[in-house]
Amino acid sequence: MKKQHLILGLLLACFQLASAQFTLEGEFRPRSEYFGNGGNFTGGSFPAQTAVKGDEGFVRTTVRAALKATYATEAYKVHINFQEVFAFGDRQQISTAGNGNFRVQEAWADLKLGEFSTLKLGRQQLSYDDQRILGGLGWAQQARTHDAAVFKYKKDGYNLDIGASLNTTTDEVYNNVTLFTYRDMVFMRANKKFDKLNFSALALVNTFQNGTALSPAGSNKATLITAGLHAGYKTGALGLSTNLFLQEGNRMVGSYQDVSGAYLASLDATLKASDKVTLLAGIESISGAQDDSAGFFPLFGTNHKFNGLIDRFYVGNHANANGLVDINFGAKFALPKGYNLTAKFHNFSEESGDGNALGNELDLVVAKGFKGYKLVGGYSHFFEPDTAPANAKDTQNWAWLMLVIKPKFLNGLK
C-alpha cells in the first residue's frame, strides 16, 4: 500500500501545484522480443552468445512504466522519476506482492549558484556526447543512473561539468566488483561548440572494491583511469564523428587485472545523398587482452548503440576477450507515409590475439511516428564465423517491436 499512497500523494500535489513551474509526465514502453541468438533466455546465458542446435527461440515482453515530475523556481529545479520495469508473467494474477522492481529512478535537485553555474545533486543520468563512455542506456528498460553531485558551468558556448560519486552504504567497504558498479568516481567533461565543430574532453577515475583482498599488495581496491576526446564535424551533407580514449590503472573482473595503454578509437561518417537517403560508414577498434594488460572496456556507455544491436560485444560480456574491430556501413531511408528505415552491416574481428574473425551482423530498424505515440521494430541476423562451434544453430537472430507513449499530464514549465 505504501507505493499506492506515494503515487496518490504525488498526484494530489500535482493539482495543487499546477502552475507555470510544474510539469508531470509519464512513460509507457512495452517491448516484445524474440530471442533466437543463444543468450537472453534462449538456453544460453545473458547476454547474447552463439545458439547451438536444440536451443529454442523465445518471446519475452517487458515494460517500462514511469511517472516523472519536475518543479522549477528561479533558484532551483527538482525532479523525481518513479519507475517500474516488469515482464509479462513475472507476477501471478492475484498476487498481492510486486516484482520488486518499483524504484525511484531519478531524484535530484539542480541549485542555481550563479549566473552561469549550478550544482546538481542526487540520483541522475550522466550522458555525454555520443554516450560511448557515459550514457543513459535508454534502450534498457531499467536505464542507468548515478548517485552523484555535478557542478555545471555554461558560458559563451563553453560547458564544464565536474562530478563525484561515493557509493558506501553501511561502512567503508563496497563489496561489489563489476565494471558497471564502482565504489567511487570523479570525472570532468569540457565541451565547446563551434560553427561546424563540436569538441569534448572527458576524464574519469573509478575505484572498484571487493570485500576480499585480490590485489598483489593485499588491497581490495582497484583504480582505473579513462580519458579521451570526442569530436563531431558537420559541413553541408557530410558529417564526421570520432572518439579516442585511453585506459590506465587496474580493474577487477573476477580477478585483479593491470590495464596499460588500452584504447578505443573510432571514426563514423554520414553523407546525405538525397532528401530521402543518408549513407553511413564507420570503423571502431577496441584494444583486447595483452600479455601485460587487460583490454579496454567502455564502462558506463550506452553500449547497445554500438557494435551491432544483437549485443554480442561489451553488453555485460567480452570484458576479458581479444578486443574488437568493427567495420560497418549502411543507410537510412525516409519512406512514404512517415516510415523510416535504417539498415547497417557489421564485420567483426579480434583486435589482439590471432585477429580471428568474429562474424558479421545485419541490423534493420523501422520506425513510424503517430499522433501521440511511436512504433519501432527491428530484426538482426548474426552470421557466425568459420570458427563457430560445429553444433552452432543455423539461424542466429533477434527481432523486436516496441511501443513508446510519453503523455504530458501537466505542462506548466515556461
Q: What are phi and psi of 303, to 5 degrees?
A: -70, -20
pTM of the model: 0.89
Contact 189, 127 (CB under 8 A): no
- The yes-or-no verdict on residue 80 having pLDDT over 90 is yes
Return mean pLDDT, the chain: 88
Look up residue 234 and give its three cell numbers: 558537420
Residue 92 pLDDT: 82
Residue 316 pLDDT: 77
Give percent above pLDDT 70 in the chain: 88
pLDDT digits (tens, 9 = 90+) for 54-71: 778 889 999 999 999 999
Q: What length does the chain have?
A: 414
Look up residue 328 and give its three cell numbers: 560497418
| CB count in 10 Å sphere of residue 204 | 22
Distance CA 326, CA 265 (A): 11
pLDDT digits (tens, 9 = 90+) for 153-188: 999 999 999 999 998 877 676 766 666 788 899 999
Nearest by Cα to 207 from 268, 252, 162, 144: 252
Most confidently predicted of 89-98, 116-125, 165-174, 206-215:
116-125
pLDDT digits (tens, 9 = 90+) for 276-328: 999 999 999 999 999 899 999 999 999 999 999 999 899 878 877 899 999 99
Amino acid at 343: A
Nearest by Cα to 179 from 353, 289, 296: 296
pLDDT digits (tens, 9 = 90+) for 379-410: 999 999 888 877 888 888 999 999 999 999 99
- The yes-or-no verdict on residue 15 having pLDDT over 60 is no
